[in-house]
Each structure stands twice: as structure tokens, then as C-alpha cells.
């Protein structure tokens, strides 16, 4: 299967074209955030405050990149476990978040919210942090700089490889794999 190139920010139309199992190369800008940043975003929402970033159409990569080396925009930048962000995800989807990138399973309420809000969950390959960072051309902290590696950043990516795990139709690449190949031994 040939990868699909998708321009960021994600359009509703591009999300509707994606299916679980699709291999995708992302091009453009995405946001980064992990647990601490998500917790702050939700606190801002609950307080009725404006967020430091607009989420409509955005994709969040669950990553806390390592420090950049000489002439690098970012150090190794591999995905973190997505399930830790599940308690924070639905309010962000309600604000128009359209994509998330991480590793591992999402809960059933999140899968249902992806259908409801026409959003998508991608997996990036865990253990390939140094290789993934080669697809990141620029990195800028845009909110919560005091969180250091967990600050919200804007990454500019070219050919950033991901796989659609959960699509907006209820498709689940992990479940499909288990059905076809069985559970791991």
C-alpha cells in the first residue's frame, strides 16, 4: 500500500478520506503536547479562559522531544502513550481538534468521540524517535514554556510517517490486526 500524503492542518475532507490501516505522510504544521500541557489546557477550558492555541483543524503529537543537537531543530521525538491523554481528549475535540498522534490504544469513549467529532487518531512508530526527528524541519515553543520538554510546540514536518489507527467511521487498525493475526504470544 502506498502512503497517502496529507497536508496539515487537517481538513474535514481529508479526515473523511482516511481509513484505519492507511499509511500517511504528514506535511505542514502540527502541535505537540503531553500530560502536563493537556492538564493546563483543560484547566483553562474549565475556568472559561481563552486557550494559548487555537485547536480547530489542528493535530496534536503526544511527544516530549529531547534537546536539539547542533544544527537540529529538535532532538529525538518519539510518541508517548496516548491513553494517558484520554481524560483530556473529548473537551479538545469539542473545540475542533481534528487529529492526534501517539502510540498505543485509545479507550472506547475516545473512539466514539472520534466518530462524533469526525477526527482521527494516528500512531507513530515507538522506538524510532531519532528517525522521526529527521522529518521535523522546525520547532517553536508556543505555550507553557515553563514545562520544558512538555511545553506546547509547533513542529513543521515533511513526510512525517504515521498509520491511521482509529478513523472517523469506527475503524480500528489494532482490532483488525488482532482479528487477522491473533493476539501476540
- In Å, what is the CA distance from 183 to each residue of 4, 53, 61, 121, 132? 28, 40, 27, 22, 27
Mean pLDDT over the full length of the chain = 95
> What was the pLDDT predicted at 180?
86
pLDDT digits (tens, 9 = 90+) for 58-114: 999 999 998 888 888 998 999 999 999 999 999 999 999 999 999 999 999 999 999
> What was the pLDDT predicted at 160?
96
> What was the pLDDT predicted at 58?
98
Cell (9 digits) for 110: 475516545
C-alpha triplet 146, 151, 154: angle, nearest 5°: 135
> What was the pLDDT predicted at 70?
86
CATH number where 98 lies: 3.20.130.10
Please count the structural domains in the chain.
1
> In the chain, what percentage of residues exceed pLDDT 90?
82
pLDDT digits (tens, 9 = 90+) for 10-69: 999 999 999 999 999 999 999 999 999 999 999 999 999 999 999 999 999 999 998 888
Supply the DSSP string of 75-127, one letter for each residue. S--PPPBGGGGHHHHHHHHHTT--EEEEBS---HHHHHHHHHHT-EEEE--TT
- Rounded to two decimals, the pTM is 0.95
* Structural domain harbouring 141: 4-181
pLDDT digits (tens, 9 = 90+) for 118-165: 999 999 988 788 888 999 999 999 999 999 999 999 999 999 999 999
Amino acid at each position: 500500500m502506498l502512503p497517502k500524503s496529507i497536508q496539515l492542518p487537517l481538513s474535514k475532507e481529508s479526515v473523511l478520506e482516511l481509513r484505519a490501516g492507511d499509511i500517511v505522510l504528514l506535511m505542514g504544521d502540527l502541535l505537540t503536547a503531553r500530560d502536563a500541557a493537556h492538564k493546563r489546557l483543560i484547566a483553562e477550558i474549565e475556568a472559561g479562559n481563552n486557550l494559548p492555541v487555537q485547536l480547530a483543524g489542528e493535530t496534536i503529537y503526544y511527544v516530549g522531544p529531547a534537546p536539539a543537537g547542533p544544527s537540529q531543530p529538535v532532538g529525538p521525538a518519539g510518541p508517548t502513550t496516548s491513553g494517558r491523554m484520554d481524560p483530556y481528549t473529548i473537551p479538545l475535540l469539542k473545540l475542533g481538534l481534528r487529529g492526534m498522534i501517539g502510540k498505543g490504544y485509545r479507550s472506547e469513549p475516545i473512539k466514539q468521540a472520534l466518530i462524533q467529532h469526525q477526527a482521527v487518531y494516528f500512531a507513530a512508530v515507538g522506538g524510532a524517535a531519532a528517525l522521526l526527528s529527521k522529518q521535523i524541519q522546525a520547532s517553536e515553543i508556543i505555550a507553557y514554556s515553563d514545562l520544558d520538554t512538555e511545553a506546547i510546540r509547533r513542529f513543521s514536518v515533511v513526510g512525517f510517517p504515521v498509520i491511521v489507527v482509529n478513523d472517523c467511521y469506527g475503524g480500528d487498525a489494532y482490532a483488525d490486526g488482532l482479528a487477522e493475526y491473533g493476539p501476540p504470544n
